[in-house]
Chain A
Amino acid sequence: MDEPQFCLEVVTLKKLIFSGLVEGLTAPGSVGYFGILKGHTPFVSSLQSGIFTLTVTRGERETMAISGGFLLTDGNKVIVLADSAEAPDEIDLKRARASRDRAQRRIRESPPDLDVPRAKASLARALTRLKAAGAS
């Protein structure tokens, strides 16, 4: 069998986060998590905030918290354009907790000017970060 690896690039507006060969990945698509292996049919998906996992070699995994963006593959390589992508050790727990609490409070109090989708998105981002960092 051929090498089971394919080329993956994860970029955000500010910088290149990851570039290299991986065996597989799972990504938080906007209609649910999906996995990609080598030879996937050409495919584009939008992403929502969630945990992005990539398998570098069998058993060796990396995770990152991403929030929104796209994934594009042509079968040989995968490009991820993320709004943000952070490895667990880069996550600012204090900030994530603060923004979770703020979002929860806003949703609970629901002032008349509340932008509901935005508050929910912000809550989802904060929860993802905390989950990726393995904290609460």
Chain B
Amino acid sequence: MLGMREIRRRIRSVNSIQQITQAMQMVAVSRLKRAKERLRSARPYAEKIQELMESLAPSLPQIEHPLVAKREPLRIAVVLVTSDKGLSGAFNANIIQYAHRFIEEHSDKEIKLFLVGKKGYDFFGRRSYPIEYYLPQVSRDISPQEVKEISNSFVQGFEKGLHDEVYLFYTQFRTVMNTIPTQTKLLPIESPGAESQQGAAELIYEPSAEEIMNELLPRYIEAQIYKGLVESSASEHASRMISMKNATDNAEEMIRTLTLSYNKARQASITKEIIEVTTASEALKYARES
């Protein structure tokens, strides 16, 4: 058994670890709350732009736009969203593994990486994949400029024909306990819900269907990236919150067992002292009598 002093020291250190994990848990809770709020307020735009895309879908096939160009997929761009900070459980590992599996399944193709977040860069930077773009640190309330920058990084390459397909990998937020690594095909844009609505073809376009598309398609991509970033940040905080809660609970448990063994050690030493005293006095008594 450990000595009392040793046990006391360990209790102290576990205690300070617990304080840290508890603080991180609290921070994650409040960040998660904000991220969920952002997720909720990002939903209308995503829905409306989808609606707009659908109502324009009937005219989409007739339009020749570089962003809808289908090519033989020889070079694939992978856009991966991870977090910058660790201590969030399996959050980064899950999404990185998910993307890595996809990359290995397509090992006959040329893969290019577009990384958002430090953790993805840490993983793929050590491997021999060409990293075309890397954005470390997305600001806490994701700005439209950042979204634009990310989307420009691969849209231009796609227009020039440097890659033939673009996939976005991010962690979808369902509930706190349920976050799912997800992939979406960003480019080429496929006409959503081709079942054309009645009367959609009678739309009047101003200035013209083609120019509307020119403006709409990049924004459609941006909306998807924004959604990916928001979902990913909500998932990250949810995951950190859970893992920090577990860490706090574990520390609590550890303090309990350590306190128990501390008490036992203390009791043992008291008993030992009493035994020493009584044996000594018994011995003295015996010596006097004889």
Contact = CB atoms under 8 A, between A and B. Distances in A.
A binds B: yes
Interface of A: 9, 11-16, 29-31, 34, 41-46, 68-70, 72, 74, 79, 81, 83-84
Contact of A70 (B42, B204, B215): B215
Contacts of B55: 44, 72, 74
A12 B211 CA distance: 20
B206 interface: yes
B48 A14 contact: no
Given A31-B207, A70-B212, 17 more contacts: A13-B222, A13-B226, A14-B38, A16-B41, A16-B44, A16-B45, A34-B206, A42-B202, A44-B52, A44-B206, A45-B206, A46-B206, A46-B207, A46-B215, A74-B199, A81-B219, A84-B144
The secondary structure that dominates the B interface is: helix
A15 B230 CA distance: 12
Contacts of B244: none
Interface residues on B, range: 20 to 34
Contacts of B49: 81
The secondary structure that dominates the A interface is: strand
Interface of B: 38, 41-42, 44-45, 48-49, 51-52, 55-56, 144, 147, 199-200, 202-207, 211-212, 215-216, 219, 222-223, 226
Contacts of B223: 13
A46 B223 CA distance: 17
A44 B200 CA distance: 11
Nearest to B147: A13
A103 to B, nearest CB: 16
Contacts of B42: 13-15
A11 B45 contact: yes
B234 to A, nearest CB: 15
A42 B204 contact: yes
Nearest to B223: A13
A86 B183 CA distance: 34
Contact of B216 (A11, A70, A74): A70
Nearest to B214: A46
B104 to A, nearest CB: 34
A31 B38 CA distance: 33
A93 B46 CA distance: 30
Contacts of A29: 206
